[in-house]
Homo-oligomer: A and B are copies of this chain.
Amino acid sequence: MNFNFYKNALGTVTLALLLVIAVHGFSQNSNPENSEDIYRDFKTELMWKANVKIGTMINVGKSKRGTRRVIPITGGTFSGPKIKGEVLPGGEDWQLVRPDGDTELYARYLMKTDDGTVLQILNKALMHAPAQGEEGGFYVKSVIDIEAPIESSYEYLNHAIFLGTLEMPQLKPNEAPYVIIGVYKVL
């Protein structure tokens, strides 16, 4: 039985060669003084939006690296153009309020697609509330790493960087708390 789990050494060499050739393809004007170079749009493609149910925050409190608190992830659903399924209960969002007041989120959880594939989601977010007199509004952005089975139809999720958005919807009476996470592949 020959189980081709991992690419062989040849693949690595090919990658190195491709690197030298291919990166010229996305070279840009390196003169940053043109205004169109200063404001730039990064094109992305939506992978899914997830309604992630959250439990009651647990506080460690002020600790050695900042203020630590944890928000349980208790379930949910997700849906996108090419994928859908459920958020598995059991994940957690480990938050650290840094000494400078910003909050770093480290949310790690599993999702299961409707055809039974399990994905690991690692969502690292930064939240910054502007100080008095500081321009700009509340800032929250995240970067997401996904681990998908390499022989599944979702393997493409292993080969990109993803930006995340966070929405806190208005809850209906008696509705369990949840957040909406958008996952966008940087193209």
Residues of A within 8 A of B (CB): 3, 5-9, 11-12, 14-15, 18-28, 30, 32-33, 37-46, 48-49, 51, 55, 58-68, 70, 72, 79-81, 88, 90-92, 94, 97-103, 108, 110, 118-120, 126-129, 137-143, 147-152, 158-161, 163, 165-170, 180, 182, 184, 186
Is there an interface contact between B159 and A128, defined as CB atoms closer than 8 Å? yes
Contact of A46 among B18, B40, B119, B166 (CB under 8 A): B40
Greatest chain B CB density within 10 A among A48, A58, A91, A161 is at A161
Is there an interface contact between B138 and A32, defined as CB atoms closer than 8 Å? no
Query: What's the minimum C-beta distance from A59 to chain B, rounded to whole angstroms?
Result: 6
Contact of A15 among B28, B40, B64, B101 (CB under 8 A): B101
Is there an interface contact between A167 and B59, defined as CB atoms closer than 8 Å? no
Is there an interface contact between B5 and A30, defined as CB atoms closer than 8 Å? no
Is there an interface contact between B118 and A59, defined as CB atoms closer than 8 Å? yes
